[in-house]
A and B are shown apart, each in its own frame.
Chain A
Amino acid sequence: MDVTLNFEREDKDDTHVLLRVIGDVTIHTSTRLREQLKPLFTTKMQEIHVTLEQVDFMDSSGIATLVEGLQWSRLTGGRFVLSGLRDNVKDVFSLAKLDTVFDIEDNTTA
């Protein structure tokens, strides 16, 4: 289990970015996810793709941060996509009844 959270950012072009999240997203690390996500939401960004393949554990603070991302995307008009959710992370989305609210893809192809 990770107590740190790391990121890899890949800019496909000026309008399309992929963010890989690496580690556990908890109350202690979710502010770092928020810091990484928020600047991505600009009016010119058409797609923000967050891959969670390397996230073993996510609690409600992580989900809440992604809910904020969804709100920002609705304001800026871009697409906000999640992918690579492991079964236990997918389960948390499902328990929170948010699995159908987010745009979730099964793979990391952006």
Chain B
Amino acid sequence: MVAPCIQDVSFSEKESSHVGKLCLQLNCNSDCIHVLRSMVAVMTARAGMDELRSNRVAIAVDELFANIATHAYGGKAGRVEMETCICNESDRGPVLIFDFRDFASVVWSGDIKAAANHEPDPANLTPGGLGLRLICKVSDHCEHESLEDGNHWRLIFNINDGEQNGCNA
């Protein structure tokens, strides 16, 4: 079992665009989801986000982690690495970024945009499919990259004018 390992990384002058990058390595089937939420609380506070936005970021991070645990690792143990930082992007300005990396043999092949645009039918509600919809609703950019040995996910939250709802996969 992978014990949670947290690092608050200091950067050299060259990397000064990154403010207080945090890194976390954990087991996806552990009950450490509260550790993730603590990191979200720290980073959203650093970004100056209000309580509602901070909760929305927590929802997206929580949902993405749950997605990895459920779909990539099938509920079994598996390593997940998460990095988060605040940085300046030329086209977006200051952003809060969360990168997730798993090492699962299952490569995610869903359609983020379809999930984002799926509207619930009140007469025929189904309990599934909510997670990705929430992720896309609250993040400004969500992307997935298939790797040879797993998956890479990136969530971007604009700090100044949030929730443009851009999703790429």
Contact = CB atoms under 8 A, between A and B. Distances in A.
A13 to B, nearest CB: 29
Contact of B66 (A3, A61, A67, A68): A61
Contact of B122 (A3, A60, A101): A101
A3 B134 contact: no
B62 A71 contact: no
A26 B33 contact: yes
A33 to B, nearest CB: 12
Contacts of A27: 33, 62, 66, 69-70
Contacts of A28: 31, 33
A75 interface: no
Nearest to A91: B52
Interface string A9-32: 000000000000000001110000
Contacts of A88: 51-52, 55
A25 B48 CA distance: 26
Chain A: interface residue count, which band?
Answer: 20 to 34
Contacts of A71: 125, 127
Contact of A95 (B31, B37, B128, B137): B137
B126 interface: yes
B34 A101 contact: no
A64 B58 contact: no
Interface string B36-60: 0110000000000001100110110
B127 A67 contact: yes
Interface of A: 1, 3, 26-28, 57, 59-61, 63-65, 67-68, 70-71, 87-88, 91-92, 95-98, 100-101
Interface of B: 31, 33-34, 37-38, 51-52, 55-56, 58-59, 62-63, 66, 69-70, 119-120, 122, 125-128, 130-131, 133-134, 137-138
7 contacts: A1-B34, A3-B33, A3-B34, A27-B33, A27-B66, A96-B130, A97-B119
